[in-house]
Amino acid sequence: MSTEYSPDVAKYTKNPNEKAIAGIVKHLGIALRGKDASLVSCSSKEELNRVRDSWLKKKLGLSDDDKALDAAIKEVCEKMKDAPRKHRVTFYYLLAEKYGKLDDFA
């Protein structure tokens, strides 16, 4: 299943880490089966708060203040702005990459 996300991740980063992609897919598990749950909506404040709290703080263990974490999320939204569908795996990968946390999933 992780191989289906590799081409999307490759649009935004050079030499994607296949093991990290697989690890993120494994972490997300059943959530990827639902169409809405497999995507990130940058226009939903509630969704972005969930990304910050569940992914950045809980899973990645970041302790930066909310303003800094929100800025990182906004940066990824901007990077993916041309994508009509922002895949959660890609979105989370880019955040993990930004914070040097890809090895946590590889």
Neighbours of 95 (CB within 10 A): 23
Instruction: Compute and round to an integer the Cα radius of gyration of the chain.
Output: 13
- Which residues are CB-neighbours of 82 under 8 A, at least 6 positions away? none
Residue 77 backbone dihedrals phi, psi, to 5 degrees: -60, -45
pLDDT tens digits along 42-62: 999 999 999 999 999 999 999
Q: What is the pLDDT of residues 21-32, one digit of tens each?
A: 999 999 999 888
What number is the average pLDDT over the span 77-103?
A: 96
HEC readout, 30-87: HHHHCCCCCECCCCCHHHHHHHHHHHHHHHCCCCCCHHHHHHHHHHHHHHCCCCCCCE
| Every domain of the chain and the residues it spans | 2-104
Q: Give the CA distances from residue 94 to residues 29, 42, in Å, rounded to whole numbers and listed in that order.
A: 18, 14
Confidence of residue 34 (pLDDT cuts 50, 70, 90): confident
Q: Does the pLDDT of residue 2 top 70, yes or no?
A: no
Fold of 2-104: Recoverin; domain 1 (1.10.238)
